[in-house]
Amino acid sequence: MEHITLSFPATHTVSGKALAGVVGSGDMEVLFTATQGDVLTIAITTSVDNSEQRWKALFERLGALSSLPAGQMQIHDFGATPGVARIRIEQVFEEVAHA
């Protein structure tokens, strides 16, 4: 298992918590807790070794396409494809945007 910690500038604040996915489902789970401030901190536990560059690229792409909220995100990844990872992350962002 690999543990990765990333931080990205956040451009807005939201409130609440959100969960997407199920860790035991064979893909991934994303938990998000909103915080005040201007940073999105991501803690990733993944079964895929040497994947830090892939995760950085995914969040850089998300940040370029839309704004990232301030908060703490935990990702438990068990080999999800990049498409599934993006969907799960966008699901928690959408949920807290409507909280």
Q: What is the pLDDT of residue 48?
A: 87
How many angstroms from the chain centroid is the CA of residue 29? 9
Q: Which domains, from first to last, does the chain contain? A: 2-98 (3.30.230)
Helices 82-97, 52-65: crossing angle, 10 deg rounding:
40
Q: What is the pLDDT of residue 45?
A: 95
**Rounded to two decimals, what is the model's pTM?**
0.92
Report how far residue 17's alpha carbon sits from residue 4's, in angstroms, rounded to the nearest whole number: 21
pLDDT tens-digit profile, the chain (99 residues): 899 999 999 999 999 999 998 876 668 999 999 999 999 999 999 988 899 999 999 999 999 988 899 999 999 998 888 888 999 999 999 999 887
Determine how many CB atoms are found less than 10 A away from the CB of residue 28.
Answer: 25
